[in-house]
Amino acid sequence: MSVMTGGKLKLVQAALRLITESRSLTSLGLRELAREAGLNPNTFYRHFRNLDEFGLQVLGYIAEEMKTGVRELRRMAESSDQASRETVAFVYHYFLNNAAATTVAVRELHGPSPVLRRALENQLDASAREMAEDIIERRLVPGVDDATVHEISHMTIRYILFRAMDYIEKPDQRDRIQLETEHFINRQFRGALVESLPPETIARWASKN
């Protein structure tokens, strides 16, 4: 399962290549894949039962890629305590360097195949849980209860993933995207601290500081 070689790898990589050139995983054809990979169409059957199974394997492949990225991220976040700014920069650079995987994830998360959608949702939920637990364990946002941290993590993971797509496609907006992401995160966590208070009270207090 773990390491792919030969034709199998070639086919998966061909899929990633085609998808970045504005295609969708679900719309790829067997022959098209083989053509792009430089293989005979029938070679496909030596590695996959059908296109559905292929899709899942591609998802597994990119999930593996993403996991190593997350691991790096956590290792880096451990060393710095002012997480936000550099962390956001790091994350977007990571997505940029894994544009193909990112594109697949974003496309299929809202794509037509229910199976792939569920698989991706589970993957994202798992990442969100990890992120939340890290935040809670390291007491990064004291004053916010655990359930809320989980909720915010869930939103943030998705927000970043979608913005990563823009980040990849619109180089001229990268600074803005990074900045808005920081705003997003800051507002969510700061907002959570004063969630139960009426806006007027907050505004009055804030204007005095």
Partner DNA sequence: CCCCCATGTAGACGACTGTATACTTTTGCG
Partner DNA sequence: CGCAAAAGTATACAGTCGTCTACATGGGGG
Which CB atom, from 29 or from 191, has the smaller least distance to DNA?
A: 29
Nearest distance from residue 119's CB to its own copies, in Å?
15
Return the range that interacts with its own copies (CB under 8 A); candidates 9-17, 51-59, 73-81, 201-209.
Answer: 201-209
SS3 79: helix
Return the range that interacts with its own copies (CB under 8 A); candidates 5-13, 30-38, 69-77, 196-204.
Answer: 196-204
SS3 22: coil
- Using CA atoms of 62, 160, 110, 18 in order, give the dihedral in degrees to the nearest 10: -40
First to last CA, the chain: 57
The answer to whether 112 contacts DNA (rule: CB under 7 A) is no
Site for DNA in 19-58 (CB under 7 A): 29-32, 39-47, 50-51
Cα(110)–Cα(141) distance, integer angstroms: 31
Site for its own copies in 77-136 (CB under 8 A): 106-107, 109-114
Phi/psi class of residue 113: alpha, beta or left (left: φ > 0; alpha: ψ in -120 to 50)?
beta
Return the range that interacts with its own copies (CB under 8 A); candidates 31-39, 46-54, 66-74, 157-165.
Answer: 157-165
Nearest distance from residue 202's CB to its own copies, in Å?
5
What are 102's two structure tokens? 């990112």
H or E segment and range at residue 141: none
Cα(37)–Cα(43) distance, integer angstroms: 10
Binding stretches for its own copies (CB under 8 A): 19, 22-24, 26-27, 106-107, 109-114, 141-143, 148, 151-152, 155, 158-159, 162, 165, 180, 183-184, 186-195, 197, 199-203, 205-207, 209
